Amino acid sequence: MTFKKIPVRKKIEELRPYVSGKPIEEVQRELGLETIVKLASNENPYGCSSLAKEAMIAEMEQASFYPEGLAPSLAEKLARKLSIKQDQIILGNGSDEVIRLLTRTYIQPNDEVIMADVTFPRYETNVLIDGGTPVMIPLMNGVHDLQRMYDAITENTRMIFVCNPNNPTGTIVQKERLRAFIEKVPKHILLVVDEAYYEYVNDGDYLETLPLLNNHANLVILRTFSKIHGLAALRIGYGIMDAPIIQELIKVKEPFNTNRLAQAAAFASLDDDTFVEQCARRNEEGRNYLETELTRMGLSFFPSHANFLMIKLNQPGKDVFEKLLTSGVITRSGHLLGYADTIRVTIGTSLENEKFITCLQNAINEKTSV
């Protein structure tokens, strides 16, 4: 007996699955390599705080109990640390869940959402899933073109995403330009500023958005414990916004969206400023090393303020990605990220960075010698 294919929504038929950076285990199985350096997913090469590890071990005693749905202890601690109100914070299963909650709550069919054409792809995906229309604005030299984004606003615009620093380019928007943009965007449009890499930024021209919250009820700020705190596997991030928005998001949130171990690890991580500071310093040192070596090799790159670099090549990024993979170095091919002749590399430890440069040099020499 044959069965008809169960029809799916048209919007879902058009979607492409998210392609993550290859896991170490997958590459080991495919290529039979024992030693793999993963520099693909902007993870923290230094792991997480020892305080977080201890907290997770202790919390295992409570593994048979559901977590608190709103993570009130963590929210309270975050609020104190950030000098905001507790009711301005919502925890998510990664900050990408908060993105999903926003589109699920506020986007209806034919609503328009403005974003860059090369940025974190889950903005577009979630807008499409909820029936909205993504309005893609080309980057200008790898940076959000805020004037063109503003000019794209119509009566159907419901939301705008600004990723700052931007993933995958690592660029930031100039402080006064972003401040002026926040001031100009109509108050009935949600303006979502994604700051997943906030802790890595060390630039006086970067806008501190938290002080603007109380005067801009349409401003939403996203941050995460996945990057500098090294808790990517636990999936915990958060959104900061006006309390009435959070009350709407809670209605569509899963009851136990952040697990006990994640809450405990994040709570403990907030006590280890030394770990965060060391990671930020080492990341800057690694970025400086990579930039120096890439310049020596005659390669250019977008000016990054995050824990990764997007490198411009004179050949398809996919080819270089494949050559690096066979050498045991996992990066991200630019053809998946919007710039076909690039690769994106996470800044690793000093040894990982050195291996990457050696393997990249070999890959480029192989191309030129053919």
Contact 330, 39 (CB under 8 A): yes
pTM above 0.75, yes or no: yes
Structure tokens at 283: 């990341």
pLDDT at 6: 78
Q: In the chain, which ranges are continuous DSSP H helix?
A: 10-13, 24-31, 50-59, 72-82, 95-106, 122-129, 146-151, 175-184, 243-252, 260-269, 273-296, 317-326, 350-369
Residue environment code for 110-142, b if the CB has 16+ CB neighbours within 10 A, otherwise e: ebbbbbbebbbbbbbbbbbbbebebbbbebeeb
Q: What is the Cα–Cα distance from 102 to 246, expressed in whole angstroms?
A: 9
Query: pLDDT for 248-272, tens place per residue?
Result: 999 999 999 999 999 999 999 999 9
For the CA atoms of 350, 351, 356, 357, what is the dihedral angle to 10 degrees? Answer: 70
Q: Is the pLDDT of residue 20 over 80?
A: no
pLDDT at 370: 45
What count of Cα atoms within 13 Å lies in the side-chain half-sphere of residue 306?
27
Domains of the chain by start residue, with CATH:
11-40+274-369 (3.90.1150.10), 50-269 (3.40.640.10)
Q: Confidence class of residue 237 from pLDDT cuts 50, 70 and 90?
A: very high
